[in-house]
Amino acid sequence: MTALLDIHLTGADADAALRADARAGLTAAPKYLPPKWFYDARGSVLFEQITELPEYFPTRTERALLERTADAIAITSGADTIVELGSGSSAKTRLLLDAFRRAESLRRYVPQDVSESALREAMAALAADYPGLELHGVVGDFTAHLDRLPSEGHRMVAFLGGTIGNLLPPERAAFLRALRTALRPGEQFLLGTGLVVDPAVLVPAYDDAAGVTAEFNRNVLHVLNRELGADFDVDAFDHEAVWDAGNEWIEMHLVARRAMTVTVAELDLTVQFAAGEEMCTEVSAKFRPSGVRNMLGEAGFRVVGSWADRDERMALTLATA
Ligand code: AVJ
C-alpha cells in the first residue's frame, strides 16, 4: 500500500525555530524554554518510558477510555481519514484505527509529528500491521502547519494525550481557531484532555520516583548543547514539578543548583543563572469539562460527544467543525 511522507518542517526550519525560541526564552525574566524541544530521538524515547511509569496515569487512563469509547466515536464520526497531531508512536491510535475499520469507514491515516524518527518508526510498524491502510505521514509542528494538512477524505483530527495542555492559553486559542479553519464543515475533532485531579495524584505523575521525567526534562539542555553549541552542565540542574492552583496547570522547572554562566556559541549569547533560579520548561494544563466545552465553542466547534473515565482523570471530546 502507498505510504507518503510530507516534510513541512525541514531541518533548517527547525533549526531557525530552535534558535529563535532559545534566544527569546534564555534572555527573558523568568527564563523559559518551550516543551516541543524535549522531543529529539532521545526525548521521544524518554517520553515513551514515561507513559509506562506507575505514577504517570494519563496514557493508560486515556487508553482504557479509548478501548471503551472507540466504537461509539467511529460510528458518530463516520470519517474515512484519521489525522493525528503529535502522533508519536501512534500506539493508542491503533484502538481508533481498529474501531473505524470495524465501522467499515477507514481508508487513510495521517500521522503528524515533529519527530521524523518517531514518525518513520510508527509508519513502518503500521504499514506492516494494517495492510490496505493508506498512510500519509507529515513531519510538522501542529502550532504552525495546520493549513497544510493533507485534505483528502472526510477527516477526523485526533489530538490525544492532553497535549493541548502544553500550549499556553493564547497559543491554545490560536491553535483551535486555525484547526477549525483548516477543517471543512462536518469534519471532526477528537480532543483528549487531562482533567483537574488531586495534586497528590497529579504531581507524582510529573515527578516519578525512578527519575525518568527528570531525565526527560533535562534532555532539553542536551538538545541545546548539541544543536546550538551550548555548554550547559546538565547535571547541575534539578527537576521540579509544581501544581499551580490558580492556573490549574503543572509547571515543570529546571532549577540551577548553583550560580552558573552558560554560553550558547551559535547564538553568541552568554546567560547567567543564579543559584536556585528556576526556568520553566513545560506547562501541562488540566481542564474542567465546562472549560473544554467553552474553549471548543469559542473556536467555532460544536461538541457532539464527551466521555471520561470513572475517576474523571481524562476526557475525550468529539466536536464537529
Ligand atoms: C503527554 C505530551 C501532554 O503534559 O503530560 C509527560 C508530556 N511531560 N511528563 C504531559 C509530559 C512530562 C505530556 N504530554
Grid cell listed for 169:
492559553
Q: Residue 95 above 90 pLDDT?
A: yes
Distance from residue 163's CA to the centre of ligand 1 (Å): 7
Distance from residue 318's CA to the centre of ligand 1 (Å): 21
Please check whether residue 219 is in contact with residue 42, taking contact to mean a CB–CB distance below 8 angstroms. Answer: yes
Distance from residue 229's CA to the centre of ligand 1 (Å): 27
pLDDT tens-digit map of 46-62: 999 999 999 999 999 99
Q: Helices in the chain by DSSP H: which ranges?
A: 11-26, 41-50, 57-77, 93-102, 116-129, 169-182, 199-205, 212-228, 289-298
Give the closest residue (by CA) to ligand 1 atom 3. Answer: 163
Give the closest residue (by CA) to ligand 1 atom 8. Answer: 206
Distance from residue 18's CA to the centre of ligand 1 (Å): 20
**pLDDT computed for residue 1 by the predictor:** 62
pLDDT tens-digit map of 192-222: 999 999 999 999 999 999 999 999 999 999 9
Q: Which atom of ligand 1 is nearest to the CA of 161?
A: 1
Share above pLDDT 70 across residues of the chain, in percent, rounded to a whole number: 99
Give the closest residue (by CA) to ligand 1 atom 14. Answer: 163
Please give the average per-residue pLDDT across 263-274, as a whole number.
98
pLDDT tens-digit map of 246-258: 999 999 999 999 9
Please give the average per-residue pLDDT across 121-126, as a whole number.
94
pTM for the structure as a whole:
0.95
**pLDDT computed for residue 285 by the predictor:** 98
Grid cell listed for 123:
509508519
Give the closest residue (by CA) to ligand 1 atom 2. Answer: 163
Which one of 284, 287, 314 would you pick to mutate in the ligand 1 pocket, going by the greatest count of ligand atoms within 8 A of its CB? Answer: 284
Give the separation between CA 318 and CA 321, rounded to whole angstroms.
10
Residue 274 burial class via C-beta count within 10 angstroms: exposed 0-12, middle 13-18, buried 19 and up: exposed
